[in-house]
Amino acid sequence: MRYLLAALAAWFSVAGSADIIDSNENGFISQHMLVLDVDRQTAYDALVTKITEWWDPAHSYTGDMANFQFDLEPGGCLCETFPEGGGVVHMTVDLIRPGQSIRLRGGLGPLQTMGVAGSMTFDFSDDPNGTRIIYTYTVNGRALAGLAPIVDQVQMGQIQRYVRFIETGNPEMVAE
């Protein structure tokens, strides 16, 4: 287990703040709330239709976002194809309500090999300052103690890329 934690820590080396609302040996819930200075449809579209523009290619198998596809329908696939053939299902769509909510199922990255059950939800609502998004990733399985902060850091890194993409058109952190 110590080796797995060290490998995951190296794999998921992204700075971010944890917001873990529950965690134990059998699972965890990571939740973040953000408010963006754009309307709901713009925030939603950037999340789902422009995912290849903000998703961190370091958290893919091929390192090339051109290999990603996101089928926006129930049962649809957030998938990645391999140049030599084949591919991987990162997550599947369980619920989609354009401009309001999307729920995905699956374990990302190394969680996939652990056979976890994961549910990732993005809920969009109007806010006086634009759009409020509540992001929740619930993961259940075995031997998950200690993984919540690592997974949460990765998810926070992806959320930060998404926010930078909306705010500047570029998901990369620019050095000042």
DSSP state of 30: E
The domains located in the chain, with CATH, are 2-11+21-168 (3.30.530.20)
Is residue 26 a contact partner of residue 140, using CB atoms and an 8 Å limit? yes
Burial group, residue 138, by CB count within 10 angstroms (0-12, 13-18, 19+): middle
Is residue 56 a contact partner of residue 171, using CB atoms and an 8 Å limit? yes
The β-bridge relationship of strands 130-140 and 27-36 is antiparallel
The β-bridge relationship of strands 68-70 and 117-127 is unpaired
One pLDDT digit (tens) per residue for the chain, 176 residues: 333 333 333 333 333 334 899 999 999 999 999 999 999 999 999 999 999 999 999 999 999 999 999 999 999 999 999 999 999 999 999 999 999 999 999 999 889 999 999 999 999 999 999 999 999 999 999 999 899 999 999 999 999 999 999 999 999 987 76
